[in-house]
Amino acid sequence: MSIKYQTFDTISRSEFSSALQTSSLNLDYGACRVKVMAGGIRFEESFKVVYRAFRFTEDEPFSDFHVRLHPGSLARRLIRPTVHFAIDGVHPFDPFPLSDALPMYEWGINWSFAQRFNQYVLLHAGTLALGDRAVIMAATPGSGKSTLSAALMLRGFRLLSDEFGVLDPETGNLLPMLKPVALKNRSIDVIRSFSDDAWLGPTFKATRKGDVAHLAPDEASVSAVRQPAKPALVIFPKYDLGAELSLKPQAPEQAFARLAFNSFNYALLGPISFAAVADVAASCPAYELRYSRLEDAVRCLQDLLFEPSLTNA
């Protein structure tokens, strides 16, 4: 018998608003569970779209962070309304315009996670899976990893995260840190036309990162938010307009070095991250993937991930 639960899509706006006021809004990202208080911010509409498949729960005894968004001072509100992000009473950044509350929230959660979750090796990568086999896509400049992550999810891959490769050094598994995928500038339209199933939140114009819109994680990814996956493939994507699709194998020590460079806390974890990243490099084939058409890249990765017994000598 399945237990009926509410999602952000199905709950009423007033229920949602009241939860935000009283700090009983809980979000389960997989590796991390957040409690949010956000009275007077008025981002319910956009939130409900980008978190549509997430479960709405009011009872959560233990949260990994306690986050509060609040408007700026009364006087300021008249001149230029702002929104402030606080985690456990600390305000790590300057305020954003009130209209940019959702991007600020997303950015704030990513920042807080990278700061506090040093029990895991945090690779800077998009991670997706077919079954329990995961691909790690390192987030180098010009990789287009967010767009590629979005496309892969829309073509049936389970999305773990478009930003973090959360590697558990004790098990070698990857954990989800499942959040709306932040798409920038041209990618927004590309993904909108890539699939009819793409649920996009509003476009925030000219934020610090250009135009930003968020793609909602799909139901399949959300329901698997507590499931780990085993790293099976490492990819260094390179978006190259007009280029033919090409796949260049990377030697394991190359993969090691590139993964270590593309991580949030490699240096911090010392011997722990050395061993964990070496394990991934030793057990997963690695490729540099040059692509210009998303469909080609998706098909290529499907083939690579399906190939049985891919091992590195």
Partner 1 sequence: MHKNWQRSLAARHLLPLLRDCRHALSMSLADWDDTIRLARQARLLGLIAGRLKETQDLWERIPERVRGHLQSSINFSAHRLQMVRMELRALDKALPPTIAVVLLKGAAYIAQNQGFARGRMPNDVDLLVRRTDLDEAEAALAAAGWAAETTSDYDQRYYREWSHELPPMRFPGHALEVDLHHTITPVTSRVRANDVLLFSSLQAIPDSRYFTLHPFDQIIHAAIHLFQDSELAGHLRDLVDLDGMIRRVIHAESDWTDLQQRADQHGAGRYLCYTLRYCGTWLGTPMPQLITLQPPSTFVQKFMDMILTRGTLPRLPDTPPSLSDRFALQAGVIRYHWLRMPLKLLAGHLIHKTMALIRR
Partner 2 sequence: MIRTENRLILRRLGDAMVIFDSESWESHLLPPSATIIADIIAELSDDAPVSSTVLKQVLRNDYELDPNSSAITDFLGMLREIGMLNE
Catalog residues that contact partner 1 under the rule CB under 8 A: 23, 33, 37, 61-64, 66, 68, 86, 88-90, 116-119, 267-270, 272
Where does 80-202 have alpha helices with state H?
A: 101-116, 145-154, 186-194
Min dist CB 284 to partner 2, Å, is: 11
Q: Does 118 bind partner 2 (CB under 8 A)?
A: no
Please say whether the beta carbons of 245 and 296 come within 8 A.
yes
Position among 245, 260, 300, 310 found at the interface with partner 2 (CB under 8 A): 260
User: Considering only residues 193-252, where is the footprint of partner 2 by CB under 8 A?
Assistant: 251-252
Q: How crowded is residue 26: how many other Cβ atoms within 10 Å of its Cβ? A: 18
Buried b (16+ CB within 10 A) or exposed e, 268-280: ebeebbeebbbbb
Nearest-5° Cα angle at 78, 72 to 79: 90
Q: Taking each helix axis from N to C terminus, what angle separates 271-283 and 252-261, rounded to the nearest 10 degrees?
A: 140
Q: Does 310 bind partner 2 (CB under 8 A)?
A: no
Position among 96, 256, 264, 287 found at the interface with partner 2 (CB under 8 A): 256
**From the list partner 1, partner 2, none, partner contacted by residue 253 (C-beta under 5 to 8 A by kind):** partner 2
**From the list partner 2, partner 1, none, partner contacted by residue 312 (C-beta under 5 to 8 A by kind):** partner 2
Q: Is the CB of 282 or the CB of 300 nearer to partner 2?
A: 282
Q: Which residue has the tokens 């990377």?
A: 250
83 strand-pairing partners: 71, 96
Contact residues for partner 2 (CB under 8 A)? 251-253, 256-257, 260, 267, 270-271, 274-275, 278, 281-282, 312-313
